[in-house]
């Protein structure tokens, strides 16, 4: 599950775009505009560490496109963060907000750091420092950040507080993923994982499969995977294995239990970063396998919900012949080489920027609620989320069927067409 340092996520994002730009016959000006970010910020964040030393962290914010509305995207804290990853993620956010018809664009941020090795005080300083460096260039009407890998509601509140100090007012719509009671939305924690399973449910209907008779293998046990497992098992599905990164060993393991894995059982043996305690897992009857073993399980559904570049030309061949659906909970988990293999095998792929769009959809709901200062019930949020994800899936599926397209290509065609049209209407191209 570790990041491949030779992998360039932005090049992959551009390759995916170029393929569909050819299919759409986009003109050269529109292509050039959409295959690169509109704006890109690099900055240093000096932090006085708990031991009295000063350490300088590198931060980023990329705004890929805001033709359809304010840029939207998370802030990721990761020791292997790169500007190319942030650029790719910002590009994928543009397509993600477009495919679910949100009036938003795409952005992404990050800091090269490892929260495992930082105190709460040091993390707070990084959060506030990130905002100080980018405050003139973000805001509720221009660019709205959110949590991502290894960031959470507490980080968002520190960032909001710093932004409000700088601008001298209350701007709860500046950032999403806030704690409930501090401008956050009910349902936001569950939204991304639930959204993945809403699309899985619809795909299984189209494949004439009963969800209660299916099994799944999941990579990751962070926020997305946790709630995907929770809802999938509530629907009657059985999760037989979960792969997680072990911070102590600096490697990943797959934990398998043929009788079925539940959210309630796993959450008791998980740290705040989604890492599973091996001793607790083995005591609970889990078999510990190597980190890639989640891919080769005899299941109906694979849910990569960790990081990018996990299904590659090298690893896709290990996927069991029983697998019928791949639902991409993570951003960019499948390379173009792996896509070719999956397509040739007839595996139904729910592409990342559709499958995991539940998070940004609920972030949009939070933004709307914060700006109105009027908040919805959990039932209202989840119902709206289900409706939006279901309709977006059906839009992509209908186009794929009508034009005999791979699902990823169909989703890209819808997204890129919508963004290109917005750019054209604004007179940018």
Is the same domain home to 209 and 318? yes
pLDDT value at residue 260:
92
Print the domain residue range for 65: 39-172
Q: Is the domain of 198 the same as that of 265?
A: yes
Residues 158 and 201 in one domain: no
Digit-coded pLDDT (tens) for 82-111 = 999 999 999 999 999 999 999 999 999 999
Same domain, 147 and 264: no
What is the pLDDT averaged over residues 172-180? 95
- Across the chain, mean pLDDT equals 93
Place of tokens 């951003």: 331
Residues 127 and 259 in one domain: no
Is residue 237 included in any domain, yes or no? yes
Q: Please compute the mean of the pLDDT values over residues 306-327 and round it to a whole number.
A: 90
Predicted confidence (pLDDT) at residue 4 exceeds the cutoff of 80? no
Does 253 lie in the same domain as 112?
no
Bridge partners, 63 (sequence order): 39, 107
d(CA 332, CA 373): 35
pLDDT tens-digit series, residues 395-428 = 999 999 999 999 999 999 999 999 999 999 999 9
User: Is the pLDDT assigned to residue 360 strictly greater than 70?
Assistant: yes
Per the model's pLDDT, the better-predicted residue between 354 and 249 turns out to be 354
Confidence of residue 309 (pLDDT cuts 50, 70, 90): confident
- Identify the band that residue 5 occupies on the pLDDT scale cut at 50, 70 and 90: low
**Segment among 134-148, 187-201, 203-217, 254-268 with least mean pLDDT:** 254-268
Query: Which stretches within 100-183 are classed as H helix?
Result: 120-134, 153-167
Q: Which residues are catalytic?
A: 108
Residues 206 and 292 in one domain: yes
Q: Are residues 211 and 345 in the same domain?
A: yes
Q: Flag whether 370 is in a domain.
A: no
- Domain boundary, last residue among 172, 202, 218: 172
As a whole number, mean pLDDT of residues 354-364 equals 95
pLDDT, average across residues 349-365: 95
Residue 271 pLDDT > 80, yes or no?
no
Would you say the C-alpha torsion 131, 14, 150, 195 has a positive or negative sign?
Answer: positive
193 within domain boundaries: yes
Is there a domain that residue 400 lies in?
no
342 and 211 in a common domain: yes
Give residues with Cβ within 8 angstroms of 58, minimum separation 6.
Answer: 42, 43, 44, 45, 111, 112
* Residue bearing the bigger pLDDT, 8 or 111: 111
SS3 track for 310-336: CECCCCHHHCCCCCCEEECCCCCCECH
Q: pTM for the complete prediction? A: 0.90
pLDDT score for 305:
93
CATH number at residue 345: 3.40.50.720
Contact 394, 414 (CB under 8 A): no
Q: What percent of the chain has pLDDT over 90?
A: 81
What is the distance between the alpha carbons of residues 385 and 186, in angstroms, rounded to a whole number?
A: 12
Contacts of 138 (CB under 8 A, 6+ apart): 61, 144, 145, 163, 174
- Bridge partners, 108 (sequence order): 62
Same domain, yes or no: 267 and 302: yes
Confidence bin at 307 (pLDDT 50/70/90): confident
Task: Give whole-number Cα distances, 172 to 132, 169, 314, in Å.
Answer: 17, 10, 45
Question: Is-contact 367 375, C-beta < 8 A?
Answer: no
CATH of the domain at 131: 3.40.50.10860
Q: Is residue 407 part of a domain?
A: no
Query: What is the average pLDDT across 159-178?
Result: 96
Looking at the DSSP bridge assignments, the partners of residue 110 are 60, 76
Last residue of a domain, one of 350, 374, 402: 350
pLDDT-based confidence at residue 177 (cuts at 50, 70, 90): very high
* Largest interatomic CA distance in the chain: 63
pLDDT tens track for 380-392:
999 999 999 999 9
Q: Of 324, 350, 376, which one is at a domain's C-terminal end?
A: 350
How many Å apart are CA 134 and CA 119, to the nearest integer? Answer: 23
Helix and strand counts by DSSP (H, E) for the chain = 14, 12
Integer Cα distance of 298 and 238 in angstroms: 12
Q: Does 223 lie in the same domain as 336?
A: yes
| Contact status, residue 305 vs residue 228, Cβ threshold 8 Å | yes
Q: What is the share, in percent, of the chain residues with pLDDT greater than 70?
A: 97
Inform me whether the pLDDT recorded for 1 exceeds 70.
Answer: no
Query: What per-residue confidence (pLDDT) applies to 362?
Result: 96
Which pLDDT tens digit goes with each residue over 220-266?
Answer: 888 899 999 999 999 999 999 999 877 666 778 888 998 898 889 88
Closest CA to 330 of 223, 176, 229: 223
Whether 80 maps to a domain, the answer reads yes
Q: Work out the average pLDDT over 145-162.
A: 95
Give the helix/strand (H/E) hosting 147. strand 143-147
Asked if the structure places residue 395 within a domain, the reply is no
Is residue 12, in this structure, part of any structural domain at all?
no
Q: Do residue 162 and residue 74 come from a single domain?
A: yes
* CB-count burial class (<10 Å; 0-12, 13-18, 19+) for 249: exposed
| Count of structural domains, the chain | 2
- Per-residue pLDDT band for 269 (boundaries 50, 70, 90) equals confident
Average pLDDT over residues 26-46: 97
- What DSSP letter does each residue of 216-228 carry, written as one string? EEEE--SHHHHHH
pLDDT, residue 247, reads: 66
d(CA 419, CA 400): 19
């Amino acid at each position: 599950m570790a990041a491949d340092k030779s992998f360039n996520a932005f090049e992959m994002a551009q390759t995916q775009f170029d393929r569909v730009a050819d299919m759409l016959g986009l003109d050269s000006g529109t292509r050039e505009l959409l295959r690169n970010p509109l704006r890109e910020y690099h900055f240093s964040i000096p932090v006085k560490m708990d031991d009295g030393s000063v350490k300088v962290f590198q931060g980023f914010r990329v705004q890929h496109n805001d033709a359809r509305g304010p840029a939207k995207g998370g802030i990721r804290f990761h020791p292997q963060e790169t500007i190319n990853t942030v650029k790719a993620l910002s590009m994928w956010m543009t397509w993600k907000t477009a495919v679910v018809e949100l009036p938003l664009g795409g952005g992404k941020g990050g800091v090269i750091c490892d929260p495992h090795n930082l105190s709460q005080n040091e993390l707070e300083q990084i959060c506030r420092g990130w905002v100080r460096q980018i405050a003139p260039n973000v805001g509720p009407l221009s660019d709205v950040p959110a949590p991502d890998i290894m960031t959470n509601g507490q980080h968002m509140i520190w960032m909001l507080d710093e932004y409000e100090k700088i601008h001298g007012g209350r701007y709860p719509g500046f950032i999403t993923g806030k704690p409930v009671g501090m401008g956050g939305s009910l349902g936001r924690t569950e939204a991304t994982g639930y959204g993945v399973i809403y699309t899985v449910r619809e795909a299984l209907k189209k494949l004439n499969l009963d969800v209660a008779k299916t099994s799944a293998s999941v990579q990751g046990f962070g926020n997305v995977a946790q709630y995907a497992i929770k809802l999938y098992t509530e629907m009657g599905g059985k999760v037989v294995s979960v792969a997680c990164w072990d911070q102590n060993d600096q490697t990943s393991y797959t934990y398998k239990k043929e009788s079925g894995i539940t959210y309630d059982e796993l959450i008791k043996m998980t740290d705040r970063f989604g890492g599973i305690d091996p001793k607790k897992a083995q005591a609970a009857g889990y078999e510990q396998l190597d980190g890639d073993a989640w891919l080769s399980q005899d299941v109906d559904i694979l849910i990569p919900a960790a990081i990018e570049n996990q299904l590659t030309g090298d690893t896709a061949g290990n996927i069991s012949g029983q697998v019928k659906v791949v639902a991409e909970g993570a951003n960019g988990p499948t390379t173009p080489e792996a896509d070719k293999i999956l397509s040739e095998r007839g595996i139904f792929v729910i592409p990342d920027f559709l499958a995991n769009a539940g998070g940004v959809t609920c972030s949009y709901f939070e933004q709307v609620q914060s700006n109105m200062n009027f908040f919805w019930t959990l039932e209202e949020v989840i119902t709206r989320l289900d409706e939006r994800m279901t309709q977006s899936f059906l839009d992509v599926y209908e186009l794929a069927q009508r034009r005999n397209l791979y699902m990823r290509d169909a989703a890209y065609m819808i997204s890129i067409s919508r963004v290109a049209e917005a750019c054209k209407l604004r007179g940018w191209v």
